[in-house]
């Protein structure tokens, strides 16, 4: 568990050193020079940002931080600065003449009816649904497959600005109670509510706003099991209906088997579909370096919590049917395998059901007494069906190349649902009959996008160290490959998350205008199993940036675009990727959108969820990690006088996961250091955050701002 950064502050200076004085004089000189956007956009210099330099001594190295004061997001000075940046960005966007048309185009792509994947309980089908003219999805129920859609919870009436969203957490087996969450804006936190489906009346029992890692009804419907995260750790409680939530009994969370469970352990909870077991997951770090799984037999009120998986250095997930437990694990299998385990036995006793293969297992489920195993074959989904003893009995047939979800349903019921999509195919929900093997469309959105006019292909290129990396490229059929077209590329590269071919209205809009879209599968994800992930962790993080830059060079060399016409975007860990693009190869791109980013890698671990990510990045608190973090950390590698491309940093007050201070500090530093005349903007939302949840109107406005910026700044006369 990382210790908080100790106070190693030596001194603070305000424009006293010669270096700071020169920087200040340079900023003052530039303040008289207008910023030039493409095609006639002009701006004054960015709003001035005061420096109050703090110098930290980290393991014998002095590191200057001129904008430490912007870390305090609530101070009057910071709020005044944010207001000035918002006005500055608005001044830019008001001059982009095509923005109203982008809003109109995106509205057509986004304002279609949308359904979530359904769940069937008690003869009813439950799902979330947003009508084309609405800003939020509401919770619905349907009596049988052909029944009428009945709205149970109307999210459109929960707030005046419609930035309040709802989501289903759990449904009772008989379909008579539904547990749902209410989220404000883009925050991670939600409050929890319970609805009686028959009477349409809310139970008086609620859980206050917080981060919940699992909320489930007890099998007798007399209460809720839930795991709530705080920055002291995650604990599991039982709330008995009719009693104050403040009196809820803690069931688990302080320690287990003599091991203290603290801030680095994320504890989740769930109840098996048959109501037999309470399942507790302990994920150690993000991504987890070890996942422990514990179970409690709920049929025996005084039963102990016993280990199913414990002390095994592996990532493991579990599905239950009857009294059998199936594990998806990378224990001694980097591409994962499916095993059957019994509570209390050692891993040596686990039985292999489906052996590891050449393609990584990306997910599995049990529906209708069958195993559905989803693999990635060169990042393309293939789903194979097995009996519970591991015999292959079929496969799910997809309508082309793209991304398929897990088959989602109940272990002992015959109906499942899955989603298939790609960059050029909007997501379609299929209903799957496990008895006949037949798939039928449950819902297909009517998106005004002519998929038949577009094509998607996969190429492979060579990274700096010789690694072969795949990349998807999509666009209109017949596009010229002569360097004359714009290209938008996105990436992530971390936390074992594979970047699959999934639908995004922003990418669709870009392709509708005649631009190419590209997504390389950088190391750091799970496209080729845990070795692909580990090749980009800790001191190897530079591999991600090298893979990304090699993808850009491949696209330029093969005349898909030119640097001036090259736009890139990324958010969260992908925002860090954008930061590295800014500092390592500013010459390679025309415009960069950097969303909800991590950028100060020497201090990220001190804020919000940052300390949990030290299992991916390391921490500057540790002498061995500090040198490589300093070498690539974007905030510390901004260079005075560099001609930076057009950049939009994008964050908001409701980001309670990645602290908005990263974007604030980086925007200030790049604005002050910029030796060129391209715009450096901070788009700061007072509603938006890391999670989804803002109104569709707000979402379209935000996306239009992004696309207006990227498209306009990659225009070349």
Cα torsion 559, 565, 571, 575: sign:
positive
For 282-338, give the DSSP string: EEETTTTS-EEEEEEETTSTTPPEEEEE-S-SS-EEEEEETTEEEEEE-TT-TT-EE
d(CA 496, CA 384): 22
Are 99 and 704 in contact, with CB atoms under 8 Å apart?
yes
User: Can you point out the beta strands (E) in 491-636?
Assistant: 516-520, 566-571, 591-595
For residue 712, give Cα distances in angstroms to 264, 409, 591, 716: 43, 45, 9, 9
d(CA 458, CA 401): 10
d(CA 134, CA 329): 41
Q: What is the pLDDT of residues 97-126, one digit of tens each?
A: 999 999 999 999 999 999 999 999 999 999
Total number of residues shown for the chain: 717
Mean of the pLDDT values across residues 230-238? 85
d(CA 64, CA 408): 51
Residue 603 CB neighbour total at 10 angstroms: 25
d(CA 429, CA 413): 18
Q: Identify the band that residue 443 occupies on the pLDDT scale cut at 50, 70 and 90.
A: very high
Q: Counting beta carbons within 10 angstroms of the beta carbon of residue 689, is it exposed (0 to 12), middle (13 to 18) or buried (19 or more)?
A: buried
Residue 29: CB partners within 8 Å, gap ≥ 6? Answer: none
Mean pLDDT of all residues in the chain?
91
Q: Residue written as tokens 């002291």?
A: 232
Q: For residue 16, is pLDDT > 60? A: no
Q: Residue written as tokens 């709530």?
A: 228
Q: For residue 6, is pLDDT > 80? A: no
In this prediction, residue 14 carries a pLDDT of 26
Mean of the pLDDT values across residues 570-599? 97
Q: Which helix (H) or strand (E) holds 382?
A: strand 380-386
d(CA 305, CA 281): 12
- In 3D space, the residue among 418, 463, 465 whose CA is nearest the CA of residue 443 turns out to be 418
Q: Identify the band that residue 648 occupies on the pLDDT scale cut at 50, 70 and 90.
A: very high
In this prediction, residue 15 carries a pLDDT of 24
Q: Which of helix, strand or coil describes residue 134?
A: coil
In this prediction, residue 266 carries a pLDDT of 86
- CA gyration radius, the chain: 26
In this prediction, residue 688 carries a pLDDT of 59
d(CA 106, CA 703): 8
Q: What is the pLDDT of residues 461-515, one digit of tens each?
A: 999 999 999 999 999 999 999 999 999 999 999 999 999 999 999 999 999 999 9
DSSP 604: G
Q: Counting beta carbons within 10 angstroms of the beta carbon of residue 272, is it exposed (0 to 12), middle (13 to 18) or buried (19 or more)?
A: buried
d(CA 387, CA 700): 45
> Is the peptide bond prior to 226 cis by the omega test (within 30 degrees of 0)?
no
Query: Can you read off the two tokens belonging to residue 299?
Result: 């049929």
Residues acting as catalytic residues: 572, 690
Are 649 and 681 in contact, with CB atoms under 8 Å apart?
yes
Strand partners, 142: 125, 149
d(CA 164, CA 284): 31
Q: What is the pLDDT of residues 258-302, one digit of tens each?
A: 787 777 788 999 999 999 999 999 988 788 889 999 999 999 988
Are 273 and 320 in contact, with CB atoms under 8 Å apart?
yes
Q: For residue 44, is pLDDT > 80? A: yes
In this prediction, residue 8 carries a pLDDT of 28
Query: Can you read off the two tokens belonging to residue 716?
Result: 């070349």
For 142-158, give the DSSP string: EESTTSPEEEEE-GGGS
């Amino acid at each position: 568990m990382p210790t908080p950064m100790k106070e190693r502050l030596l001194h603070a200076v305000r424009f006293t050193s010669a270096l700071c004085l020169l920087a200040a004089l340079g900023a003052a000189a530039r303040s008289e020079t207008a910023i030039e956007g493409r095609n006639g956009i002009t701006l004054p210099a960015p709003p001035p940002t005061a420096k109050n330099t703090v110098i930290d001594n980290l393991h014998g190295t002095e590191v200057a931080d001129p904008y430490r004061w912007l870390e305090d997001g609530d101070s009057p000075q910071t709020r005044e600065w944010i207001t000035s940046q918002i006005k500055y960005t608005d001044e830019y966007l008001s001059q982009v003449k095509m923005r109203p048309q982008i809003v109109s185009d995106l509205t057509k792509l986004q304002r279609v009816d949308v359904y979530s994947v359904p769940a069937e309980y008690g003869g009813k089908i439950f799902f979330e649904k947003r009508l084309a003219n609405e800003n939020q999805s509401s919770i619905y129920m349907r009596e049988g497959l052909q029944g009428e859609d009945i709205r149970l919870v109307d999210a459109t009436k929960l707030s005046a600005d419609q930035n309040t969203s709802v989501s289903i957490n759990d449904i009772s087996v008989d379909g008579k109670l539904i547990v749902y969450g209410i989220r404000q804006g883009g925050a991670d936190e939600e409050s929890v509510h319970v609805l009686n489906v028959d009477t349409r009346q809310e139970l008086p029992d609620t859980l206050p706003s917080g981060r919940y890692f699992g909320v489930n009804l007890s099998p007798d419907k007399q209460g809720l099991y839930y795991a709530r995260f705080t920055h002291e750790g995650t604990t599991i409680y039982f709330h008995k209906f009719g009693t104050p939530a403040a009196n809820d009994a803690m069931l688990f969370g302080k320690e287990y088997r003599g091991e203290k469970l603290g801030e680095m352990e994320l504890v989740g909870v769930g109840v098996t579909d048959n109501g037999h077991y309470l399942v507790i997951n302990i994920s150690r770090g993000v991504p987890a370096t070890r996942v422990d799984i514990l179970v409690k037999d709920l049929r025996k009120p005084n039963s102990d919590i016993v280990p199913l998986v414990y002390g095994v250095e592996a990532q493991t997930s579990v599905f239950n049917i009857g009294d059998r437990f199936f594990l998806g694990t990378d224990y001694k299998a980097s591409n994962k395998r499916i095993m059957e385990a019994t509570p209390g036995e050692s891993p040596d006793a686990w039985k292999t059901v489906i052996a590891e293969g050449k393609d990584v297992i990306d997910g599995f489920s049990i529906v209708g007494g069958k195993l559905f195993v989803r693999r990635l074959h060169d990042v393309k989904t293939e789903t194979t069906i097995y009996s519970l003893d591991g015999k292959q009995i079929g496969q799910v047939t997809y309508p082309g190349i793209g991304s398929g979800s897990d088959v989602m349903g109940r272990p002992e019921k015959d109906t499942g649902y899955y989603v298939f999509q790609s960059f050029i195919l909007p997501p379609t929900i299929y209903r799957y009959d496990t008895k006949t093997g037949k798939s039928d469309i449950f819902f297909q959105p009517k998106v005004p996008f002519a998929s038949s006019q577009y094509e998607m292909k996969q190429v492979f290129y060579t990274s700096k160290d010789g690694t072969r990396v795949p990349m998807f490229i999509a666009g209109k059929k017949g596009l010229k490959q002569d360097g004359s077209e714009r290209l938008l590329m996105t990436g992530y590269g971390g936390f074992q998350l594979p970047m699959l071919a999934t639908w995004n209205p922003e990418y669709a809009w870009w392709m509708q205008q005649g631009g190419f879209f590209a997504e390389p599968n950088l190391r750091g994800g799970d496209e080729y199993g845990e070795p692909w992930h580990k090749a980009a962790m800790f001191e190897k993080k530079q591999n991600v940036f090298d893979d990304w830059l090699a993808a850009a060079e491949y696209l330029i060399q093969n005349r898909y675009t030119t640097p001036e016409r090259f736009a890139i975007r990324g958010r969260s860990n992908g925002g860090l990727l954008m930061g590295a693009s800014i500092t390592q190869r500013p010459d390679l791109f025309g415009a960069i959108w950097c969303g909800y980013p991590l950028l100060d890698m020497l201090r990220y671990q001190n804020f919000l969820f940052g300390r949990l990510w030290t299992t991916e990045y390391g921490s500057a608190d540790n002498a061995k990690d500090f040198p490589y973090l300093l070498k690539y950390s974007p905030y510390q590698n901004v260079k005075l006088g560099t001609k930076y491309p057009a950049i939009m940093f994008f964050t908001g007050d409701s980001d309670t996961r990645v602290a908005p201070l990263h974007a604030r500090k980086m925007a200030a530093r790049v604005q002050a250091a910029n030796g060129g005349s391209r715009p450096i903007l901070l788009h700061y939302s007072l509603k938006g955050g890391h999670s989804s949840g803002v109104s569709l109107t707000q979402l379209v406005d935000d996306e239009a701002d992004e696309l207006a910026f990227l498209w306009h700044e990659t225009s070349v006369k």
